[in-house]
A and B are shown apart, each in its own frame.
Chain A
Amino acid sequence: MTQMSSPMAEQLVGKGAARAIRRRQSFGTNRRPSWRTYLVLTIVLLISVYPLYFTFLLASSDAATIARNPIPSLVPGPNFLDNVQRVLASDIKLWQALGNSVIVAVVTSLSVVFFSTLAGFAFSKLRFRGRNGLLVFVVATMAVPTQLGIVPLFIVMSKLGWIGQLQAVIVPGLVTAFGVFWMTQYLREALPFELIEAARVDGASMIRTFWSVALPAARPAASMLALFTFVGSWTNFFWPFIVLGSTNPTLPVSLQLLQASYFKDYSLIMAGVVVATVPLIIMFAFAGKQLVAGIMQGAVKG
């Protein structure tokens, strides 16, 4: 530690100099870090990016080249579009899976946002008997490993005749404890009571107040919740794998079929991985900033 901390400077060289030093360094808050920090972060970044680039390299190559070079050359091969076309035309129903994944992810995101905001509005702003107890219950259910209820859930779905139907995946995800808790926390601070009272005095019904006052106020947190729900739904495998099967798959389920049927030709397998992954990477390019902010806000509040 060769740097001087500002309280030390204040004693040694006076207040003005101390302020100047504080501006410049104040333990890392203003001072630029050394190259070593950038080196470490660059290595971390390479570790998170290389496997994805590796996938693209293989998807643009062909089976023989991949067999010859376990570590692919950093220059992509010429076959990327060709491989993508071939895998889309194959019998693993990738187009159908893409459509199914979009439907499931969009419907669950909208539904989770709507019902969570509705419940969050009630928990944060309305007075009712048993409110605190119910909210504690919601939080407690987040720790329940509901995946372990799959046997009865499967029995229920087969009684309903929903095996192989998208609603078997959509309905269990219509609203989540995390979403309710998240929106409650947000609305508690973001929605002033005065706004609700003003709407009520103007004669708005409760649901009207929710629609025109609470929902707009909830927008920043709601869009983050929609993003997390979308990612969660898009990447979900276990339950869709069991209940949908190969007849009506979502993307992860059809990737599993792809691996099982084409396990010799890695260029096609990886082309399939690219098809399933690129939509979320594009979304990440536009909304990654919000995901980062969402995780960091959730960590402080939760």
Chain B
Amino acid sequence: MSNLTGRQRLSRLEVKLSPYLYVSPFFIVFAIVGLFPLLYTAWVSVHQWHLIGGQGEMIGLGNYTAVLEQPNFWKSLRNTFSIFLLSSVPQVIAAIVIAYFLDTNIRAKTFWRMGVLLPYVVAPVAVSMIFAKIFADQSGAANALLALVGLDPIAWHGSAFWSHVAIATMVNFRWTGYNALIFLAAMQAIPREIYEAAIVDGASRWKTFFSVTVPMLRPTIIFVVITSTIGGLQIFDEPRMFDTMGTGGSDKQWMTLTMYIYELGWGAQKSFGRAAAVSWILFLIIIVVGAINFLITRRIASSDAKGARR
């Protein structure tokens, strides 16, 4: 070391330290706005904590037992799962089917691909305002269309189930095309020889689709399902904007868990402690559901693959 010049020593130090310096912005930002808040949420959740009054005394699991006793917690839990299922399952199926049609030698490929992606650049709030009008009970386009074909109008806001359908439609509108492009990319990565082999074996088009395409998409399906689980269980924008009050309906029939967190913290109760408790509960739910999704999707897709090999 002694026969290095000062300049060389400096340069060596630069080589050693620069990488850490370059990756540090991410870790600093994540520590401050990601990790710390998540851990601190646990601390807040075991205290009485008022939006304006601030920290009160420690009450252990008091906030948790308090929210678990509130019927609105269970309602929003049910609503969150119902909306999540109504949006994710049809969305993944529709996206795969659209991708299948896009994965042909159509003319003007870019045009069609951009066409299905268009809804993605519309903000969820804007999408919700548009669909809130389409699904309006009295003056909505959806009920007018039903009347045209002689069907009874649907209580889009009154019925819990139909409000979930309407909200899920907003989510599906924005994300189906996006996911279709992800599936399209995965389909294009499937070697064409596999299809040819299936045709030689006399497999029909549908048989090929179900026993070649779908199993080959397995990692992509897992990826899409996991990401839509993380996002879908935190859904807020669409149900918040479904009516002008934003409180989840007269009977909380479409209030979701994130809306419930907002109401506990910033609504009438102004209880940050309870809002933090529900945040932690939702965090655990997302982890558990994510893991279950992973296992189920892997099993379904791999049993398909076995069927194909037989």
Report A's interface with B, CB cutoff 8 A. Answer: 1, 5-8, 26-33, 37-38, 40-41, 44-45, 47-49, 51-52, 54-55, 58, 66-67, 70-72, 115-116, 118-119, 121-123, 126-128, 131, 134, 138, 141, 143-156, 171-172, 174-177, 180, 205-207, 210, 231, 234-235, 237-238, 242, 251-252, 255-256, 259-260, 263, 266, 269-270, 273, 276-277, 280-281, 283-284, 288-289, 291-292, 295-300, 302
Contacts and interface: CB of A to CB of B under 8 A. Distances in A.
B119 A48 contact: yes
Given A71-B144, A156-B37, 20 more contacts: A5-B199, A28-B103, A28-B104, A33-B105, A71-B141, A116-B26, A118-B22, A119-B22, A122-B22, A126-B19, A143-B226, A145-B233, A145-B283, A148-B234, A151-B279, A177-B26, A251-B123, A291-B121, A295-B117, A296-B185
Task: Give the dominant DSSP class at B's interface.
Answer: helix
Nearest to B44: A151
Interface stretch (B69-77, B78-86, B160-168, B174-182): B174-182
Interface of B: 14-16, 18-20, 22-23, 25-27, 29-30, 32-34, 36-38, 40-41, 44, 98, 101-107, 110, 112-127, 129-134, 136, 139-141, 143-145, 173, 177-178, 181-186, 188-189, 192, 195-196, 199-200, 202, 204-205, 220, 223, 226, 230, 233-234, 236-237, 240-241, 244, 246, 258, 261-262, 265-266, 272, 275-276, 279-280, 282-283, 286, 290
B140 A1 contact: no
Contact of A71 (B16, B145, B246, B276): B145
B114 A284 contact: yes
A27 B33 CA distance: 50
B200 A295 contact: no
A70 B139 contact: yes
A252 B128 CA distance: 11
B106 A152 contact: no
18 contacts: A8-B200, A28-B103, A119-B22, A119-B25, A121-B22, A128-B16, A148-B283, A149-B37, A149-B279, A150-B279, A151-B44, A174-B25, A210-B22, A242-B266, A276-B126, A292-B181, A297-B185, A299-B183
B126 A252 contact: yes
A255 B44 contact: no
B181 A296 contact: yes
Contacts of B280: 148
Contacts of A144: 34, 38
Nearest to B282: A148
Q: Among B103, B122, B127, B186, which residue has the most Cβ atoms of chain A within 10 A?
A: B122
B219 to A, nearest CB: 10
A53 to B, nearest CB: 10
Contact of B117 (A145, A206, A291): A291
A266 B134 CA distance: 11
A186 B221 CA distance: 23
A51 B107 contact: no
Contacts of B196: 5-7, 26-27
